[in-house]
Structure 1
Amino acid sequence: MAYKSKSILQVVKEIESSKVYLPALQRKFVWGKSQIELLFDSLMRNYPIGTFLFWNLEREVANNYVFYEFLKEYDQRNPFNKRKTGNFLNPEIIGVLDGQQRLSSMYIGLQGTHTEKAPYMRWSDENSYKKIRIIFKLTLSTL
């Protein structure tokens, strides 16, 4: 089995176009805003973030397993991935066996939203939740 490199942009586009799914063995997304920000900080500093493990399947084989869609709009009140029902649109799909938290965070940070309860606010109060897009302030430095 050979390693294959993919850019972050390529994987984000594959998630958007419903080519990448989460097998049922994956836990739910649990990273908070600060963990997402730290992941992007590591990326911007060119630190390694580990490898990902993908499972390539033909559509006919994938239909024998349970898969979930990636969270694109994270909301703390309903943090569960939507179960994939029906046939897959693409002839081949990619299941993420390792790296779901990082990939979900990259998608949310680049294209999605993150809704979280403000500290010390009531869980039952709709105004306690704020939907945000994570925006990064990029600066150039010279060495």
Structure 2
Amino acid sequence: MSYTITTVADTLSRINKDLYIPGIQRPYVWTKDQVIRLFDSLMRKYPIGTLLLWDLPTKSRADWEVYRFVENFWQGDIHNDRVEIPHDAPCTLVLDGQQRLTSLLIGLKGTYTIRKKHKRRSNADAWDEMALHIDLAHAPESDDEVDEHDNPLAEHYRFAFFDVTKRPNNDQGELWFEVSFIFGTRNETELEQLATSWIVNNTKLNDEQKKIA
């Protein structure tokens, strides 16, 4: 068994191209809060565990059902789409780490859709499709008084999911930035320019909040 160090960006770029889920895996089950805690851990540079991958041998292709990762998750939809891998195409299966990878994919590139309370599934307005945001004006140091021994899941960064059709108001000193914008830029310089424009154009932030952002 060999170990390889890689980045989130490189791993996500492989998903549904040569990185897939075997049929033995359970469906995606993480809640929005679990997704948020994962991203909070990443921002705090905490380890988020290793992935167990297996390069599926060509001779074994017929023995395995292979499925795509979910990028746009719908609550209650437990079925991943099956995919047929060409005989000569590379195929790596995720044996451990599907929940974390799917959560990263949803947060950085996709959406999380839930059914509104007391709404029938068949109603067109019964669903909220949401994208992950981070509040750039929130100082993580403000959570330092939290005793992590009593509350190990305390979040130091402020993440939240918002309806994709309704941009957050940012009228209470927040600066909500859609996390998927990270993958919409070509490099760190372009991302920094985008974030800076958000900060400059938000006239409701005071100088201290702009400094934090």
* TM-score normalised according to structure 1 size: 0.85
Matches within 5 A, 1:1-143: 1-16=1-16, 18-85=17-84, 87-88=85-86, 91-138=89-136
Separation in 2, partners of 1:55, 1:139: 41
Separation in 1, partners of 2:33, 2:118: 17
Whose helix proportion is higher, 1 or 2? Answer: 2
Give the 3-state SS of the residue equivalent to 2:81 in structure 1.
Answer: coil
Unpaired stretches in structure 1, ≥5 consecutive residues = none
Unpaired stretches in structure 2, ≥5 consecutive residues = 142-213
Instruction: After TM superposition, give the deviation of residue 118 of structure 1 in Å.
Output: 2.6
Instruction: After TM superposition, give the deviation of residue 57 of structure 1 in Å.
Output: 2.0
Give the 3-state SS of the residue equivalent to 2:100 in structure 1.
Answer: helix
Instruction: After TM superposition, give the deviation of residue 126 of structure 1 in Å.
Output: 2.7
Separation in 2, partners of 1:94, 1:131: 30
For 1:6, give the aligned amino acid. T
Give the 3-state SS of the residue equivalent to 1:127 in structure 2.
Answer: coil
Determine what percentage of the aligned residue pairs are the same residue.
35
Separation in 2, partners of 1:66, 1:15: 16
Larger Rg: 2
Separation in 2, partners of 1:51, 1:77: 28
For 1:108, give the aligned amino acid. I
Range that drifts further, 54-63 or 105-114: 54-63
Aligned residues between the structures: 141
Instruction: After TM superposition, give the deviation of residue 47 of structure 1 in Å.
Output: 1.1
**Superposition RMSD on alpha carbons, in Å?**
2.3
**Per-residue deviation, residues 46-102 of structure 1 (Å, max 9, x unmatched):** 1111111001124453343111110011111423111113x3386211100001000
* Relative contact order, higher structure (CA 8 A, sep 6+): 1
Give the 3-state SS of the residue equivalent to 2:5 in structure 1.
Answer: coil
Distance 1:142 1:69, change over 3 A: closer
In structure 1, what is the equivalent of residue 145 of structure 2? Answer: none
Indicate conservation of the 8 Å contact 1:21/1:95, yes or no: yes
Distance 1:4 1:58, change over 3 A: same
Indicate conservation of the 8 Å contact 1:59/1:88, yes or no: no
Separation in 2, partners of 1:4, 1:63: 27
Separation in 2, partners of 1:140, 1:116: 26
Range that drifts further, 25-34 or 111-120: 111-120
Distance 1:47 1:139, change over 3 A: farther
Range that drifts further, 96-105 or 112-121: 112-121
Instruction: After TM superposition, give the deviation of residue 134 of structure 1 in Å.
Output: 1.2
